[in-house]
Structure 1
Amino acid sequence: MFAAYVTVTILGVVLNGVTAVFYLSGHEYPKTQADMKGVPRKWVPVLGTLLAAGSLGLLAGFAVPLLGTLAASGLVLYFIGAIIAHLRVGSRAIIAGTVLLAIAAAALALGLADHGPW
């Protein structure tokens, strides 16, 4: 169980970290996605910061399990919101969000199964 928890959590850290870098570096893709969803561009760095905090929180969860639980929970809520934002404007390009949601949910479930919420 521990090996699965570590593997999924590291995968979540890497994928969310890379996504956060795109959002925080001023890359054009997050900006066009924000425009498509009707989200103000000034929210892009905020969303990137949330992704970075989630990624760092998952990593910190190895030392302080409660942080990992909170970070995984936050990422689950983040990606539920992202999927809803896509569906709200009629976009069906939700594969990436669904994969990241599944990874965050798996990290949360495996973390809870491995060490509980604390």
Structure 2
Amino acid sequence: MIALFVLTSILAVWFVLLGAGKVLGLPAMAERAAHVGFTVGGYRIIGLLELAGVLGLFVGWMVTGVGVAAAAGFLLLLTGAALAHLRAGDRPPALVPVIVSAALVAGYLTVLL
């Protein structure tokens, strides 16, 4: 249970920061959106999905299926992020945050199940 709390907390902080930045259209996020070929509006939708996913992680403590769905959603978003970065010509080191995030989500899913 402690591992689930720790993983959920780390993921929540990480994705709330990223999601809120996208939803608010912060300049750095708008720059990243343009870099990977998204509009700011499209990036805002991704941010909303990230924020909804955070809620799903916490609900997953009580309803396992919701947590599994949230984790699956994050893994899909992260796969899309990796592909967008590669398509934009980013070098592999730029994928480290995506890979670390995916590993944490996979850990959450493992502990949850």
1:40, distance to aligned residue in structure 2 (A): 2.1
What's the C-alpha RMSD, in Å, of the aligned pairs? 1.2
Residue deviations 1:42-75 (CA, integer Å, cap 9, x gap): 2011010010011110011112111111101110
Residue deviations 1:6-57 (CA, integer Å, cap 9, x gap): 2112211121111111111121111111111111222011010010011110
Distance of 2:21 and 2:39 partners within structure 1: 17
Q: Which structure has more RCO (C-alpha within 8 Å, separation ≥ 6)?
A: 1
The answer as to 2:53 corresponding to 1:54 is: yes
What residue identity is the alignment partner of 2:67? G
SS, match of residue 63 in structure 1: coil
Match of 2:64? 65
TM value normalised by structure 1: 0.87
SS, match of residue 54 in structure 2: helix
What residue identity is the alignment partner of 2:4? Y
Distance of 1:20 and 1:89 partners within structure 2: 21
Match of 1:95? 96
Contact in 1 for aligned 2:59/2:67 (Cα 8 Å):
yes
**Unpaired segments of 5 or more residues in structure 1?**
113-118
Distance of 1:100 and 1:68 partners within structure 2: 16
Distance of 2:12 and 2:40 partners within structure 1: 25
Same amino acid, percent of matched pairs: 31
Q: Please list every run of at least 4 consecutive aligned residues from structure 1 whose deviation after the TM superposition is greater than 4 angstroms.
A: none
Q: How many residues align?
A: 111
**Unpaired segments of 5 or more residues in structure 2?**
none
Distance of 2:67 and 2:35 partners within structure 1: 32
What residue identity is the alignment partner of 2:5? V
Residue deviations 1:53-101 (CA, integer Å, cap 9, x gap): 1111001111211111110111011101101110112112112222211
Distance of 2:14 and 2:85 partners within structure 1: 20
The answer as to 2:50 corresponding to 1:45 is: no
SS, match of residue 30 in structure 1: helix
What residue identity is the alignment partner of 1:47? I
